[in-house]
Amino acid sequence: MNVLEVTDLTKKFGGLYANTNINMSIKKNSITAVIGPNGAGKTTFFNMITAVYKPTSGDILLNGKSLVGLKPHQVTKFGIARTFQNIRLFHDLTVLDNVLVGMHHHLKSNWVGALFQMPRTRHAEDNAKKEAYQLLEYVGLADLLNESAGNLSYGAQRRLEIARAIAAKPKVLLLDEPAAGMNPKETKKLTDLIHDMRSKLDITIVLIEHDMKLVMEISDYIYVLDHGEEIASGKPDDIRNNPRVIEAYLGKGAVANG
């Protein structure tokens, strides 16, 4: 079953086609990579899925329902969460509070309750804190819950972004360059976490990534973009040996020259 279906998705910025007629069918519970050289249109693609940009044309279906025309917070409510290429955390807030921010979509308290510290509100808050703590344990950051997010190492900040994203209980998680800036040990931990989220949390994962070792190791399926167009798609072994993909990454002549 396809959880996410993208048909003829196009985004034009003035005269530039950042995405041209992109088609993707993403299976439930799969790990899919979207790769391509710099400027290929990968982040634009994520920005359309999450309603940061409105598509020029085409459709995006989550479990059969169109997301086009929704606001970003509505897309989150529908079940899509993401992390960003440039980490976006509240640096002055604690690690725990950063996760609580990610939970606000499904917290039941209201402002009247919060103002008068009503028991039901307090109860909801206590539960949220418990859940946030469990999520931090899950990503390996429970020891740092009271630390300011800005003081964390790069790898830990990326894991905190993931914890915040999964706090929204998404069906689909979009990871934009999750391994960027990580050392090999951190990348290994990330690989394990991605596998675990798919199996234990029943999440479908789509990632943009430049680390080809990680992409080839982790992906069930790969889509390759170049200059806004989809130039190939397939399983890792098909993509690894695809002449068009090699050419897009290494330039013309790379295939002929070996």
Ligand X SMILES: Nc1ncnc2c1ncn2[C@@H]1O[C@H](COP(=O)(O)OP(=O)(O)OP(=O)(O)O)[C@@H](O)[C@H]1O
Residue ranges in contact with ligand X by CB under 6 A: 13, 16, 18, 36, 38-44, 85
Our CB check for ligand X shows the closer of 43 and 219 to be 43
Chain-centroid distance, C-alpha 52: 14
Tokens 């079953």 belong to 1
Nearest to ligand X of 43, 242 (CB atom): 43
Q: Which is nearer to ligand X, 46 or 138 (CB)?
A: 46
Provide the residue type at 70 as one letter: L
At its nearest, how many Å lie between ligand X and the CB of residue 14? 7
DSSP 110-129: -HHHHHTT-HHHHHHHHHHH
Q: Which is nearer to ligand X, 88 or 106 (CB)?
A: 88
**Shortest gap between Cβ of 49 and ligand X (angstroms)?**
12
Count of residues making up the chain = 258
In the complex, least distance from residue 112 CB atom to ligand X, rounded to whole angstroms: 40
Instruction: Please report the beta strands in the chain, taking only residues with DSSP state E, as ranges in sequence order.
Output: 2-13, 16-27, 31-35, 57-62, 65-66, 80-82, 172-176, 204-208, 221-226, 229-234
Tokens of 105: 């979509």
CB of 60 to ligand X, least distance (A): 16
